[in-house]
Amino acid sequence: MKTKFQAIKGMNDLLPEQSAVWQKVEHLLRRLMQQYGYGEIRMPIVEKTALFKRSIGEVTDIVEKEMYTWTDRNDDSLTLRPEGTASCVRAGIEHGLLYNQQQKLWYMGPMFRRENPQKGRYRQFHQLGVEAFGFNGPDVEVEQILLTRRLWQEIGIANDVTLHINTLGDPESRKVYREILVEYLQSNFEQLDEDSKRRLESNPLRILDSKNPKLQSIIESAPKLEDHLDDESKEHFESFKGLLDGMGVSYVVNPRLVRGLDYYNRTVFEWMTDKLGAQGTICAGGRYDGLTEQLGGQSTPACGFAMGIERIIALAEETEFGQNVSNASDIYLIAIGSVAEKKAFNIAEEIRTLFPSLRLSMNFGGGNFKKQFKKADKSGARLALILGEDEVANESCGVKFLREEKPQESMSWDSIADTIKNYFQLLDR
Ligand code: HAM
């Protein structure tokens, strides 16, 4: 028996009926990037494993359990990128984009994490990532929040999302806090779950992020990072919040927001929704001032975020923005007989030249009127043009509005363009 191949679990094909919404969202994202002055960077999908270990952190879920890693033929350990920030910083350092400069960069593409697939969580998923380098203040963070807010508004999901913010302070104050936290957790050691016990030494802050209901009361009573923050980080966070207030952005200060990647300091944020079940974070990021130096560059302040495009699409599909978006044809060209079939190419090409944004399908493979009309209807077209031998002889064309109760008309080739223009009321979509 022949093997029927299937896509890898958690890695999905995107079919034409879905890709129309994707294209619309991607188009909007590109426009927003331009509006806010970000330039596109495209990085490879494969990097040295050490890059991710050093940036995301050795004892994070991503590095410990989720990376697709293999040994290349020359014994290099390589990994499919699980996120884009590390590669972006690597590329920035490599091409001298970061030192003493201000850069605003974005990228979009597939990321790979070997998680347990479920709704909204995939092994190959797509992110839009945005990274700003060389900006110290909270102003650039606020602009990134405004950019995302504009996106939610345009997609029509602004009422479905909540902004959670927190500050992680500087590395020194976090170190002091970490010791206090570990001491507290150790005094409650027996009540911790296996995961938390394991994290106690390696990554205790992540325990605060645990969803295990049995841990909630311990977490509630844990010492708070905000009580141990350095003054500068406190000030930074205050002015960040002040700017958000000034722009009418509502937010929740969530002291438990610690992020799952190690490179953050100071401001962190996540946009969450309760419309997607367990996978409610649609966009997340923050400041990572230490990463560039950690990866061998000069010290460079930086902040950014990434959004999960699958999750944005899932929300968008429920809104007006995401409905009735399709790649269906606009015009279907019916031709009966070999003379008409030949002429149809000329007419089709001419229409495509005049109306580059319209989708025109020609009938291929012959068939009688009835069969061709059926195909026209199935194509989703709103307008059918009909060409037979008689029409070619007298330079005319049958015109049928497929979605209206109007009888078929006949018109000269000269007037087809006007009819199309008036009917679709656009020249460039
Ligand atoms: P992250 O929180 O790991 O951050 O991922 C960002 C977003 O990607 C998540 O909020 C979620 O929407 C989406 N996402 C993550 N994993 C999956 C998955 N398995 N399936 C579907 N969607 C997923 C980062 O990746 C950081 N690089 C963000 C950043 C950029 N921080 C600073 N600059």
pLDDT tens string 306-325: 999 999 999 999 999 999 88
If asked whether residues 131 and 51 sit together in one domain, one would say yes
Q: Is 336 within the bounds of a domain?
A: yes
pLDDT of 311: 97
CA distance 140 to 132: 8
pLDDT digits (tens, 9 = 90+) for 19-70: 999 999 999 999 999 999 999 999 999 999 999 999 999 988 999 999 999 9
Q: What's the predicted TM-score (pTM) here? A: 0.92
If asked whether residues 117 and 256 sit together in one domain, one would say yes
pLDDT of 426: 59
pLDDT of 402: 95
Of 41, 59, 94, residue with least CA distance to 304: 41
Of 227, 186, 228, residue with least CA distance to 207: 186
CA of 307 to the centre of ligand 1 (A): 6
Domain that holds residue 118: 16-170+230-322
CA of 11 to the centre of ligand 1 (A): 16
Q: Is 216 within the bounds of a domain?
A: no
CA of 213 to the centre of ligand 1 (A): 24
What is the residue whose two structure tokens read 């690597």? 90
CA of 312 to the centre of ligand 1 (A): 12
State mean pLDDT over 229-255: 96
Q: In the structure, which protein residues have their CB atom closer than 6 angstroms to any atom of ligand 1?
A: 83-85, 113, 115, 121-122, 125, 127, 129, 131, 260-261, 281-286, 288, 304-308, 310-311
**Residue 128: CATH number of its domain:** 3.30.930.10
If asked whether residues 317 and 344 sit together in one domain, one would say no
**CA dihedral for 119, 28, 148, 173, sign (positive or negative):** positive
If asked whether residues 21 and 122 sit together in one domain, one would say yes
Q: Is 42 within the bounds of a domain?
A: yes
**Residue 373: CATH number of its domain:** 3.40.50.800
Task: Give me 114's structure tokens.
Answer: 């070997």
pLDDT bracket for residue 200 (50, 70, 90) = confident
If asked whether residues 82 and 47 sit together in one domain, one would say yes
Q: What is the mean pLDDT of the chain?
A: 94
CA distance 156 to 177: 40
The structural domain count of the chain equals: 2
